[in-house]
Amino acid sequence: MTAIKPILSAMLRSRSAPILLLFQIILSVAIVANAAFIIHQRLGLMDRPSGAAETEVLSFKLYNYGEGMDLAQRSRRDLEILRALPGVKAVAPANMLPLGMSGWMSGFADGPDPETAKSLPGMAFYMGDEHLVDALGLTLIEGRNFIPGRIAQGLEDTSEPREAIVTRAFARAAFGEDSAVGKRVYEGSTLFTIVGVVDRLQGAWVNNDDIENSVIANININGSGPFNTLVIRAEAVDHTFLQEAIRAALHKDDARRVLFAFKSIADYRQRAYSQHAMMAFVLSAMIVLLLAITALGLSGMVMFNIERRTRQIGTRRALGATRGNILGWFLTENYLLLGAGALIGTLLAYELSQQLMNYFSLSGLAWQYPAMTVALLFLVTTVAVVIPARKAAAISPSIATRSV
């Protein structure tokens, strides 16, 4: 403690460099802590499971053309052909795909009267048949799947009662701890009965607050028009081979069709999170750059002080200062700057976090991130200071007796 006062005095006599480094440390703590927090959030979002068997599921779009074509019959025939392919586990029509960045959003209410009914959480609105749960690789945890033959053929088909399979997240958000199976919900005046619950199925938009809320309705809209979307789950993960098999089988049956947009759910995931991945990369590079600049600044200050205090260091060595004393001198300078910068930088980090919360709806900064940032700066700057400080500690006492 007795050495701190002369160290502070020495720093104040040449205050420009320490002040600049202090500002650098303050900014580094504030920016690195928030950047690391944002990176962790983005990586957490990217790690969320979609609920689908992403590597097994291949989707594609199909356009039928030609005069006098029965589109509904053609759609049924396509499903039969694809289900007969070797290695195929399930095939289903679909109107949207997990993480597909396009699809349907809707909302249920607990009654048909808009004036008295309570709105339920928003959700992604999937439509398909009894094969869609298996085709996406979903896990049914309660209730049952759709019954074969009880699938509405198009939005206008009212011959079959509307049923729904919901995700666990939607069930909890809408009904709390009560079982969702058997509950009746309404989309406008249309009644849906919830018959099953799947563990997880994400919607199409990764930034949507309701991404975990999804509903599958027993409605097949394929065959209502020339454009269809199909989902195939196969044992083999060689999607190139499967794609060629699909093209060959369907074109052999009838060449009057165009097949395009072959993508796995894993492909959709990569595209959906591409901006998150880029942000994480840029922020990581910025963290490395800030830490490197701070370390170089401290190292440069020590090297400058060594040149400026060479005779002073030699005199101290002649008066009995050990190499450890000299090394400790420079480390103490570093830790004083780091301590002041860490304190002010942490306060600035929380203020910056508050602004990010207000403007970008981010969650508040956790205390662990400033703490980890300070610890990392402590390690990095210690290494940056020790290397040149060892040179100072090696100065011979005889240097004090040399003339200028």
158-190 confidence digits (pLDDT tens): 999 999 999 999 999 999 999 999 999 999 889
Determine the pLDDT at residue 356.
79
Closest CA to 49 of 197, 263, 232, 211: 211
CA distances, 72 to each of 222, 257, 305, 388 (Å): 7, 14, 83, 79
Average pLDDT over residues 194-220: 96
- Cα separation, 135 vs 192, whole angstroms: 22
Please name the residue that has the structure tokens 């599921």.
Answer: 57
| Helix or strand holding residue 83 (H, E) | helix 71-83
Q: Is the dihedral of CA 351, 357, 362, 366 positive or negative?
A: positive
Q: Where residue 311 falls among pLDDT bands split at 50, 70, 90?
A: low
- Cα separation, 89 vs 103, whole angstroms: 24
- Cα separation, 64 vs 396, whole angstroms: 88
The residues, any chain, with a CB within 8 Å of residue 317's CB and separated by 6 or more, are 326, 395, 396, 397, 399, 400
Q: Which residues pair with 164 in a beta bridge?
A: 194, 217
Determine the pLDDT at residue 1.
45
How high does pLDDT run on average in the chain?
A: 87
Rounded to a whole number of angstroms, the CA Rg of the chain reads: 33
118-151 confidence digits (pLDDT tens): 999 999 999 999 999 999 999 999 999 999 999 9
Determine the pLDDT at residue 325.
75
Closest CA to 54 of 136, 160, 177: 136
Closest CA to 124 of 191, 211, 223, 195: 211
The answer on pLDDT for 401 being more than 60 is no
Q: Where residue 392 falls among pLDDT bands split at 50, 70, 90?
A: low
The answer on pLDDT for 319 being more than 90 is no
276-307 confidence digits (pLDDT tens): 999 999 999 999 998 888 888 877 777 776 76
What are the phi and psi torsion angles at 188 (to 5°)?
70, -120
Determine the pLDDT at residue 393.
67
228-278 confidence digits (pLDDT tens): 999 999 986 678 899 999 999 999 999 999 999 999 999 999 999 999 999
Determine the pLDDT at residue 296.
84
The one-letter code for the residue type at 287 is: I
